[in-house]
């Protein structure tokens, strides 16, 4: 995502960021708590998961090197409805929430890119909902594996059957 920025803008943003390791199961955002930072994923991938009232969870989005974690901050919202946690080891450039907000104010060329990404993620969430509601388990598995493969940076990634069931929204389904 950052590669799409003009080089001079990127050179002004990079000093505000620090490189961090993304380790499987790390929680980046917890629902209903302040979003403390934005992560621009360089490698690995992150799941966006929503929890339902009865306690079940379902993945609603998957973020890799094409994107960022911390979408609520784009629109001025300080908390998230979804949990974001690392699903595939990698790295990211992290910028704290205050510095991110300042960058959006100081760098007008940043906002259009962020808004386009926000729209792309909205489309992904809509497509995920439609697929989960209309497709059988095998079709949802194929879609998820292709999305994860695109973001994993290779042909192998580790996942448990329980975790895969969560990602496919199939826990408790026949």
CA–CA separation, 118 vs 67, rounded Å?
9
On whether residue 171 sits in a domain, the answer given is: no
CA–CA separation, 4 vs 86, rounded Å?
24
Q: Do residues 77 and 39 touch, judged by C-beta distance below 8 A?
A: no
pTM for the predicted model, two decimal places: 0.85
**CATH number, domain containing residue 53:** 2.60.120.10
- The pLDDT tens digits of the residues spanning 115-159 come to 999 999 888 888 877 877 788 878 877 777 777 777 777 777 777
Give the phi and the psi of residue 107 in degrees, each rounded to 5. -120, 85
CA angle 134, 140, 141 (to 5 degrees): 165
- The pLDDT tens digits of the residues spanning 35-72 come to 999 999 999 999 998 888 887 787 888 899 999 999 99
On whether residue 129 sits in a domain, the answer given is: yes
CB neighbourhood size of 9 (10 A): 16
**CA quadruple 39, 93, 25, 33: dihedral sign:** negative
On whether residue 173 sits in a domain, the answer given is: no
On whether residue 172 sits in a domain, the answer given is: no
On whether residue 40 sits in a domain, the answer given is: yes
On whether residue 24 sits in a domain, the answer given is: yes
**Domain coverage including residue 136:** 2-164
């Amino acid at each position: 995502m950052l590669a799409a920025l003009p080089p001079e803008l990127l050179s002004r943003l990079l000093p505000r960021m620090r490189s961090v390791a993304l380790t499987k199961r790390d929680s980046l955002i917890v629902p209903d708590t302040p979003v403390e930072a934005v992560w621009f994923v360089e490698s690995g991938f992150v799941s966006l998961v929503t929890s339902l009232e009865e306690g079940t969870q379902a993945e609603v989005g998957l973020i890799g090197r094409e994107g960022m974690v911390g979408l609520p901050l784009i629109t001025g919202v300080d908390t998230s409805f979804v949990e974001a946690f690392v699903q595939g080891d990698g790295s990211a450039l992290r910028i704290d929430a205050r510095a991110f907000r300042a960058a959006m104010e100081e760098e007008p060329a940043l906002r259009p890119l962020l808004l386009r990404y926000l729209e792309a993620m909205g489309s992904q969430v809509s497509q995920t909902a439609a697929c989960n509601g209309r497709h059988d388990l095998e079709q949802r598995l194929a879609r998820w594996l292709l999305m994860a493969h695109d973001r994993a940076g290779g042909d192998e990634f580790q996942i448990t059957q329980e975790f895969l069931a969560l990602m496919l929204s199939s826990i408790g389904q026949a």
